[in-house]
Amino acid sequence: MARNWPYFFAQSSQTRSGRERKIRSCIGEVSLTSNQAKRLKVKPRTRVSPHLERCSLLLCANESFANAEVDIEVLTGVKVSHGTQHRQARQNALSLSQSQDSVREMSVDGGKVRLRTPKGQESLWRDYKAIALHGQVCAAVFQDNAQLADWVRQQPRAESVSVVADGHPGVWNLARDCLKESQRQEILDWYHLIENLHRVGGSNQRLEPTFRTTNILQQDF
């Protein structure tokens, strides 16, 4: 079967000219000419075929680069190092989704991800932020709040947008970068609303009507 690949590439690209180059593909290492590579949309100066690159990116989107290196070799028999996986992911910037309808409500939240460190060293935890445009699309970024805020400002929006968040200052700051004060209504989410009622101050008797009201509203939801 391997002897037929030069004929296949020649037929698909309609050329045999150019300098020969070798690339790794899902069927192993293959040879094709520079002109064939151009017509078959193989990127210049890359040693990985387009389909193998797509397989790598799919794995990297669901797991770590190190695990993707192991899995791509199990699935295809071809070794693509985790460093190559990382470079491919960085070279293929993914565009954020766009909402189709006017945005009326959105949720803003944040979290932490653990970064890999050399064995024996303490783990590093870094922040990310995420925004969900209710009933439409969502987006998350790693340490780039400006990109996320710019993404929200590009969406079609209603005159007033309800913004639900957990009350963390960093999250509210992001919400304020996304929308002007006249464009947003800030709403503390239910869990953190109940959790922070004690900050109102006063006795349990004073807080009891508030607890009763929130429980009634919760049943309505």
Nearest to 47 by CA among 11, 103, 89, 88: 88
Give the angle subtended at the CA of 169 by the CAs of 163 and 201, to the nearest 5°.
95
More confident residue, 186 or 220: 186
Q: What is the pLDDT of residue 210?
A: 54
Indicate if the pLDDT at residue 3 is higher than 60.
Answer: no
The reply to whether 184 and 108 lie within a common domain is yes
Point out the domain boundary residue: 67, 91, 115: 91
Nearest to 56 by CA among 40, 27, 39, 76: 76
Burial of 125 (0-12, 13-18, 19+ CB in 10 A): exposed
Q: What is the pLDDT of residue 221?
A: 39
The reply to whether 73 and 7 lie within a common domain is yes
Indicate if the pLDDT at residue 165 is higher than 80.
Answer: yes
The reply to whether 40 and 73 lie within a common domain is yes
| 96 in a structural domain | no
Q: What is the pLDDT of residue 216?
A: 39
Assessment of whether the complete model's pTM goes beyond 0.85: no
Q: What is the pLDDT of residue 133?
A: 94
Please state the domain count of the chain.
3
DSSP tag of 48: B
Residue-wise pLDDT tens digits, 195-213: 776 666 656 666 565 555 4
Residue-wise pLDDT tens digits, 53-106: 888 888 888 888 889 999 999 888 888 899 988 888 888 777 788 888 999 999
How many CB atoms sit inside 10 A of residue 173's CB?
Answer: 13
Domain that holds residue 215: 190-221
The reply to whether 177 and 203 lie within a common domain is no
